[in-house]
Amino acid sequence: MAKDAPQLRRVLGMSGLVLFGLAYMVPLAVFDTFGIVTNMTSGHLPAAYVVTTIAMLFTAFSYGQMSRAIPKSGSAYAYARSAFGGEIGFMAGWGLMLDYVLLPMLDAMVISIYLHASFPDIPAGIFIVAVLALSTALNVIGIRLLVKANFILIAVQVVFLITFFALGLRAVAQGEAPNFLAPLLSPAMQGSEIFGGAAILCLAFLGFDAVSTLAEEAKDPKKQVPRAIMLVTLCGGVIFTATAYIAAISFPNWQDFVDIESAGLEVMQDVGGIVLGAFFVAAYCAGSFASAMTSQASVSRILYSMGRDGVLPRKIFGALSERFRTPLLGILLVGAIGLLGIWLDLDTLSSMISFGALFAFSMVNLATIKHFVIDKHQRTPLDLLRYGLIPAVGFCLTVWLWTSLSGLTFMIGLSWLALGAIQLAYITGGFKRRPPELDPYADVESLILDDDPDVGSALHPELDAQEELKKVLK
């Protein structure tokens, strides 16, 4: 990089990093797959979240160690590339890309499910088209104002969760005493069900991966980013598990769900009536729409950086709209892919996103062992524990969860990886030359600091949030 090239601003402290990670996770994301995983685990959703949280804490530790050793943006791509070379790094980034391409579709689909449950006369597909059309339009013309609202929407979700906890516990106190241990441990539990459900739930933990992409904007990345990653993972796991547990004890008859895809709404209406149900739908859809916009903005710019660097066709992806100065074709492509949600089911889509996440998580665990134990020869007993055993356990857990996904998920996921291998072979001339060095996050810094403020806001809303906070404090 040239010496006079623009640099990302180091403005984020611990609170900013943790807030960004939790905002990316979305507190109400527990209801994305609530009914599906509750049904899959025979009512043991909280137990599945405990398993997922434990597995993710091991992987988060590996992310933290690698972010300390390589304090730059790029996440799984940068870590795998440093440890194993450009080809492996490309495939790790390509696997994680599956998540980011499909996240707008997931957000549109879950919004449509809950709105259709509230307005059954309107087909769910209409809501998907409307959400993606509005998100795409706002991304094309700029989303500065609405991205700022992301953090307000997170606050609304927190208020909703507090209200739900209070009403849920009241319903438990007024009704017949449930078996408080049953959602976490019971004779009916089956390990295969719990791990199958836990594998799907991994998509809810992408927030800690997002924290690692902010290494070049942290004030002290070697200390703050690893701590923030662990805090975000732990806090997210506690929030998800507690929410699932309150829902399970306040509505123990999970077999009575009318529609498992919108089961969250049934729980809310049972606990707090129509008012809480309406509050839930409003808060959930608002948060999911904000997530859809920002994820579509992020992935379209990642596609732009890949096109500009020649990893993807430059004429298609490496160009900006002359009028709006946004990656128009990338935005339109992601929106068009999202329309597939009209025909896909939520279970399959959630599993596909988890496939990409678990693949990338596995690579980061291996990269930690390779970087510290093999390359750096850090082999004292303490080093072997930190850089050998813990990442190895994290790798085994992520692989175990990964192999718990369905056969259809593996067919689609492996097809995606095969497509990435074909693209890698093309850009390297049949693996005869090294692939271009791509940092899919840091490489868009010229966009972030360009004179179009909407682009920077779309990729890094936490910077705007901090400026707004400073104004309020003054």
pLDDT tens track for 167-184:
999 988 887 767 788 888
- Residue 461 above 50 pLDDT? no
Rounded mean pLDDT of the chain? 81
- Annotated domain spans of the chain: 14-473
pLDDT class for 234, splitting at 50, 70, 90?
very high
Residue matched to tokens 């072997």: 384
Nearest residue to 315 via CA among 325, 323, 327: 327
Share of the chain above pLDDT 70, in %: 85
The pLDDT value recorded for residue 233 is 92
The pLDDT value recorded for residue 217 is 64
pLDDT class for 158, splitting at 50, 70, 90?
confident
Rounded Cα gap, residues 201 and 53, in angstroms: 9
Q: Which of 27-36, 44-53, 415-424 has the lowest mean pLDDT?
A: 27-36
Instruction: Over range 180-189, report the average pLDDT.
Output: 82
CA 192 to chain centre: 24
Nearest residue to 56 via CA among 251, 198, 173, 226: 198
Neighbours of 141 (CB within 10 A): 12
Rounded Cα gap, residues 152 and 72, in angstroms: 29
Instruction: Over range 312-340, report the average pLDDT.
Output: 81
Neighbours of 433 (CB within 10 A): 10
Neighbours of 91 (CB within 10 A): 22
Residues 208/232, Cβ–Cβ less than 8 Å = yes
Name residues whose C-beta falls within 8 Å of residue 457's C-beta, 6 or more positions apart in sequence.
143, 144, 147, 148, 463, 464
Instruction: Over range 208-212, report the average pLDDT.
Output: 75
List Cα–Cα distances, 284 to 80, 154, 274, 349, in angstroms.
35, 10, 15, 19
Query: To which CATH superfamily is domain 14-473 assigned?
Result: Amino acid/polyamine transporter I (1.20.1740.10)
User: What is the per-residue pLDDT across 44-54, written as a single tens digit (0 to 9) for each?
Assistant: 999 999 999 99
Half-sphere exposure of 132 (CA within 13 A, CB side): 29
Residues 117/262, Cβ–Cβ less than 8 Å = yes
The pLDDT value recorded for residue 12 is 67
**Between these two residues, 218 and 339, which has the higher pLDDT value?**
339
- Residue 474 above 60 pLDDT? no
Residues 21/227, Cβ–Cβ less than 8 Å = no
Nearest residue to 339 via CA among 131, 111, 176: 131
